[in-house]
Structure 1
Amino acid sequence: MTITWITVCDTCKREGWDAAAQPQTDGEALAALIEAAARNCTHLRVRRHSCLMGCGRGCNVTIQARGKIGYTLGDFIPCPEAAEAIVAYARLHAESATGQVPYRQWPQEVKGHFITRHPPLPED
C-alpha cells in the first residue's frame, strides 16, 4: 500500500478570523487536529504547507499519493469532527488502488467539501 499524504494549509484563515483574539490561524488549528487524528495511521502522513491558494474556501487540505488521483478539499471548520473525517477519507484513499473512493463510503463530514480532483502524474 502506498503512502497517502494529507497536506494542510497552515495559513488558512476563515472569514472573521481575528489575529488579536486567536493565537493561531484556523489552518494551524486544523493541522494540529489532523496530526493528532492520524498519529497511529501507518499508511498516512501529514504535512503542513503555507498557502494552498484556496483562500476563499479555507481551511484547505489535499489528499494525494504517488500514482493515484488526488483531491483538494476546503471550507472546513477546524474541529475534531472535520479532522477525523479527513483522516477517515484519507485512509480510504490509501486503501484504494486508484485513489478513488465510492461516494457511499465517504464520511458525511467531507461531503460537499471537494474542490478539485487531480489526475496522477504520468510516469514518464
Structure 2
Amino acid sequence: MHLDATLVVCTTCRLPESDPAAPRRDGLILAEALEAAGAPVRRQECLSACSRGCAVAFTGPKRWTYVQGALDPHRDREAVLTMLGAYASAPDGLVPWRERPEVIRKNTVARVPPLEV
C-alpha cells in the first residue's frame, strides 16, 4: 500500500434515516469499522457533505483526492477498503472508473486534482 495514501472519515456524518438522538453517529461507526479492519483512518469532524453522509476522502500528497458520500457504515466497509487498496496502489491516486466498487462509482462527490506546491 502506498504510504502517502490517507483515508479521511467524517465522524459527524449521519445517514438520512438515522435517529438524531442516537449516541453514536454513523460516521463514527464507519471510522471504527474501518479501523477494526486495519485501515489507516484519519478521523475528521465534518467534511461538509452532510446531505451525502456518510462521507470519506481518499487523499495524499501529489495524488488526486476522491470525496465519497452516501456510504452505509454497516454495508459499505468492504467497498471502502477495496477502493483504499486501489487508490494506494495507483501512483497518482487515479483509479480507473471500472476498478472502483459500484457504491464508490455511484457516489463520488468530487475528484480533486493534486495541489502543486
* Same-fold call, TM cutoff 0.5: yes
Helix, strand or coil for the counterpart of 2:76? Answer: helix
Report the count of equivalent residues.
Answer: 116
Distance 1:76 1:91 in 2: 17
Matched residue, 1:8: 9
Matched residue, 2:43: 48
Q: Which has the larger radius of gyration?
A: 1
Matched residue, 2:65: 70
- Change over 3 Å in CA distance of 1:16–1:109 after alignment to 2: closer
Matched residue, 2:30: 30
Moved over 6 A (4+): none
Q: Do residues 101 (structure 1) and 70 (structure 2) align?
A: no
Gaps of 5+ in 1: none
Q: Deviations over 1:7-30 (max 9, x none)?
A: 00000112232243x330011111
2:87–2:94 CA contact under 8 A, matched in 1:
yes
1:2–1:66 CA contact under 8 A, matched in 2:
no
Identity %: 34
Distance apart, 1:112 and its partner CA = 0.4
Q: TM-score if structure 1 supplies the norm length?
A: 0.85
